[in-house]
Chains A and B, each alone.
Chain A
Amino acid sequence: MMAEQSMGNRPGISIHINKRHYFAPKAQMTGAEIKSLAAIPTANMLYRDERGPGPDTAILDERSVELKPGDHFYDLPIGVVGTEGDNDVPLSSLPEIRARVSEELAMQIQEVMDDYPGTMITVTPDGQVQMVVPDMRAGPGWDPTVVPVLITVPSDCPRSTPQGFDALVSPAPGRGTPGGVSSVTRDGRQWARFCWQVPGWDPSRHRLWHYVKHVRRRFWEENQ
């Protein structure tokens, strides 16, 4: 039989929950009842702090425990970490992309992905969308001949057109650098920046897919 303490008009067993003092109204309580005593969120796990080096005892909600004066309890939530919302994560599945960009842009990206499997999207902190199209054929005039290209996509595309793209590529030996191509440093490496744009971009009929197709055609033309 547990000893009961009487503290004026508040009889009960003196226990501590999260280092605060409580009087348990009865000698046996369930985990849920103890949580309720200290207004602990129901999703958290309750533990009895055991003396000595052994692990503390988890008290499940439905489990009934015999309380002893001086018992200490504490609760812990589930530890949550993650990268949802982290702007570094490449998105390659359509549901993920739809959650991060407008429906109109997601549909345009889907068109590109249908033709270029493996295309990935990254959303920067300022909402800028970067699209990596892998395995773009640059042709024999370039080194290497097949490269991934990084296109910065305006969030209101197709009302705005991409202003260009970057690629880790350089003209093949003996070839000059064509017009509209400059050099930029990104992540400590030298990238070629292509300021190629679709002539006469018309938002009513052009989409992102047209821009990617135009890039491919320009590479082909530069090889001629």
Chain B
Amino acid sequence: MSDVIEIFTQEMFSTLRSHLLGNPKGQEEAAALIAGIVETKRQLRLLVREVVPIPDEYLLHKSSVGLQIHPDFLSRQLKECRLSGSAFMLAHSHPFGGRHVQFSGVDDAGEETLFPKILSLNEGLPTGSIVMSPKSLSARVWLPSENRPRPVDEVRVLGQTIERFNGTNGGRLPEYLVEPPDQGLYSRHVLAIGAEGQRMIRRTRVGIAGVGGVGSSIFTQLIHLGIRDIVLADPDFIDESNLARMVGTAKSDIDAPKVEVLRKLGLRFDSQLAVDTVKGPVESNQARAKLRDVDVVFCCVDSLPNRAFVNRFGCQYYIPVIDVGCDIQMSEKACRRVRAIGGRVMVLMPDGPCLHRYGMATDGLLTDEQDAQRYQLVSGKREEVPSMVCHIGVVASLAVCEFVNLVTGMASRALRSSGVYRMYDGISGTVRECRGANDSDCIVCGAQRGLGDSSDNRVSGR
């Protein structure tokens, strides 16, 4: 049976928590959650994209030991879920619950009456519930194929770091789900980030979109870091000029698909490494299908439209995107000289600013690049841009450092959700932080946020 994971953005989780546990009289509170759905062979993910606190006028009874919710409220939220193809979830608090809060007998009885009905009315989409105390939470889900609720394996909050809680008691993830880290191999890592940090790295599934110079450098660092499960997507084959930039390649790899060459490289390091490859562009159906249940995506594609696509994809599936780019700009004069050597690392969280809000994927820039791509396609000429492995390596390392911060919370200075990104200047050899966006209010990304596969489940009316 696949794992069930509930994912919140930091904003959604904070909204829920402050409502459920903020009652000054210590009374219980409740909220409806509307969640996008992602279902793969490995996992069922519920992406909480709306928290609707239940107003007092819809509570028939409210005290420190219980709530009764008027069906009118449930009917309205269910309608919203039916129309958007979303999952319905009910969250409530046990204000006096302790460190291991559990669903009570009253909760069990209430769900047994209500939830099968919700399952039926909401076209068989999963229905879930969460109970939260000041110190812990528990979550479970009702699936149409099962007539009993099953515990949620993990509740994840995408904040400054990716917080991962055990869905049955809100504590750390159970040890049995992760192998003990190889103390010999990763002993130096463990000294820096602890065994728990190394476990978090190990159980993170990573996607890399584009495995040219930057992507291959990130790939090799990730496998040395302890990642065991990677999805690679790239349509290209290795040509001679790639060998100078792609770490770990050799002349014998020429004309082989880039993703396959890296897969073999990874297996040479660790024969147990799971490398899933897609020999196609990141926006292809095959790549989308495989990237839906990764935990973090590195975006190392060449074109701006593809970067914008990966950014929207991350918003849609609640997957943090680490966008990485590196280029060398030459002067236009007859005697060409290096004008700038630059690199950029941005952590794009689902509820944070997007490339558009950073001003890096404006309509004008996207149109220019699409025109250039069309010209290359028609003319058959592929424009070669200057690039060197040394600068690529610096930027790739910066990106992997951000990944470690995101997954383990190792470093305090984080870029997430704050409109800040990191720029590398290869001429001065410096890295600086830049502020590029003050808000995350993008209508394009906002409309996609947390939908998951739910856009495919939408119904027109009834």
Interface residues of A (CB under 8 A from B): 18-19, 44-45, 47, 49, 51-53, 55-56, 58, 72, 74-86, 88-90, 187
Cα of A47 to Cα of B117 in the assembled complex, Å: 13
Cβ-defined contact, A56 with B94, below 8 A: no
Cβ-defined contact, A19 with B120, below 8 A: yes
Q: How far apart are B281's CB and chain A's nearest CB, in angstroms?
A: 36
Knowing A52-B461, A80-B66 touch, does A86 contact B94 (C-beta < 8 A)?
A: yes
Cα of A195 to Cα of B25 in the assembled complex, Å: 37
Residue of B nearest to A72 (CB): B462
Cβ-defined contact, A84 with B105, below 8 A: yes
Cα of A78 to Cα of B110 in the assembled complex, Å: 8
Could you list 9 further interchain pairs (A-B, Cβ under 8 angstroms) beyond the known A76-B75, A77-B113, A82-B28? A53-B83, A55-B79, A75-B117, A79-B67, A80-B69, A81-B92, A84-B66, A88-B96, A89-B96
Most chain B CB within 10 A, of A51, A82, A89, A187, is at A82
Cβ-defined contact, B104 with A85, below 8 A: yes
* B297 touches A (CB below 8 Å): no
Cβ-defined contact, A86 with B109, below 8 A: no
- What are some 22 contacts across the A-B interface (CB < 8 A)? A19-B120, A45-B71, A58-B71, A58-B75, A75-B117, A76-B78, A76-B114, A78-B69, A78-B71, A80-B67, A80-B68, A80-B109, A80-B114, A81-B67, A82-B65, A82-B67, A82-B110, A84-B66, A84-B106, A85-B106, A86-B106, A89-B65
**With a CB–CB cut-off of 8 A, which chain A residues contact B105?**
84-86
* B101 touches A (CB below 8 Å): yes
**With a CB–CB cut-off of 8 A, which chain B residues contact A18?**
117, 120
* B283 touches A (CB below 8 Å): no
Q: How far apart are A52's CB and chain B's nearest CB, in angstroms?
A: 6
Query: What are the 6 tightest A-B residue pairs by CB atom distance, in nearest-first order?
Result: A82-B66, A79-B69, A80-B110, A82-B106, A76-B71, A86-B104
**With a CB–CB cut-off of 8 A, which chain A residues contact B98?**
88, 187
Cβ-defined contact, B28 with A78, below 8 A: no
Q: How far apart are A30's CB and chain B's nearest CB, in angstroms?
A: 18
Cα of A89 to Cα of B96 in the assembled complex, Å: 5
Cα of A196 to Cα of B101 in the assembled complex, Å: 31
**With a CB–CB cut-off of 8 A, which chain B residues contact A47?**
71, 75
Interface residues of B (CB under 8 A from A): 28, 30, 60, 64-76, 78-79, 83, 90, 92, 94, 96-99, 101-102, 104-107, 109-110, 113-114, 117, 120-121, 131, 133, 461-462
**With a CB–CB cut-off of 8 A, which chain B residues contact A55?**
75-76, 79
**With a CB–CB cut-off of 8 A, which chain A residues contact B92?**
81
Cβ-defined contact, A81 with B71, below 8 A: no
The one of A72, A83, A84 in contact with B96, judged by C-beta atoms closer than 8 angstroms, is A83
Residue of B nearest to A55 (CB): B76
Q: How many CB-defined contacts (below 8 Å) exist between A and B?
A: 123
Cβ-defined contact, A78 with B70, below 8 A: yes
Q: How far apart are A2's CB and chain B's nearest CB, in angstroms?
A: 20
Cα of A159 to Cα of B102 in the assembled complex, Å: 32
Cα of A89 to Cα of B93 in the assembled complex, Å: 12
Q: How far apart are A203's CB and chain B's nearest CB, in angstroms?
A: 32
**With a CB–CB cut-off of 8 A, which chain A residues contact B113?**
77, 80
Q: How far apart are B457's CB and chain A's nearest CB, in angstroms?
A: 16
**With a CB–CB cut-off of 8 A, which chain B residues contact A51?**
461-462
**With a CB–CB cut-off of 8 A, which chain A residues contact B74?**
76, 79
**With a CB–CB cut-off of 8 A, which chain B residues contact A89?**
64-65, 94, 96-97
**With a CB–CB cut-off of 8 A, which chain B residues contact A45?**
70-72, 75
Cβ-defined contact, A83 with B75, below 8 A: no
Cα of A158 to Cα of B70 in the assembled complex, Å: 46
Cα of A177 to Cα of B69 in the assembled complex, Å: 53
Residue of B nearest to A80 (CB): B110
Residue of A nearest to B54 (CB): A79
Cα of A83 to Cα of B60 in the assembled complex, Å: 16
Cβ-defined contact, B101 with A88, below 8 A: yes
**With a CB–CB cut-off of 8 A, which chain B residues contact A80?**
66-69, 106, 109-110, 113-114
Q: How far apart are B29's CB and chain A's nearest CB, in angstroms?
A: 10
Q: How far apart are A143's CB and chain B's nearest CB, in angstroms?
A: 25
Q: How far apart are A3's CB and chain B's nearest CB, in angstroms?
A: 20
Cβ-defined contact, A86 with B97, below 8 A: yes
Cα of A197 to Cα of B346 in the assembled complex, Å: 64
Knowing A18-B120, A56-B79 touch, does A79 contact B114 (C-beta < 8 A)?
A: yes
Knowing A80-B68, A86-B104 touch, does A74 contact B97 (C-beta < 8 A)?
A: no
Cβ-defined contact, A187 with B60, below 8 A: no
**With a CB–CB cut-off of 8 A, which chain B residues contact A52?**
461
Cα of A75 to Cα of B90 in the assembled complex, Å: 18
Cα of A85 to Cα of B97 in the assembled complex, Å: 12
Q: How far apart are A36's CB and chain B's nearest CB, in angstroms?
A: 18
Residue of B nearest to A54 (CB): B79
The one of A83, A85, A187 in contact with B99, judged by C-beta atoms closer than 8 angstroms, is A187
Cα of A76 to Cα of B99 in the assembled complex, Å: 33
Q: How far apart are B94's CB and chain A's nearest CB, in angstroms?
A: 5
Most chain B CB within 10 A, of A18, A45, A53, A78, is at A78
Cα of A83 to Cα of B66 in the assembled complex, Å: 6
Residue of B nearest to A79 (CB): B69
**With a CB–CB cut-off of 8 A, which chain B residues contact A88?**
94, 96-98, 101-102, 133
Cα of A80 to Cα of B114 in the assembled complex, Å: 9
**With a CB–CB cut-off of 8 A, which chain B residues contact A85?**
104-106
**With a CB–CB cut-off of 8 A, which chain A residues contact B78?**
76
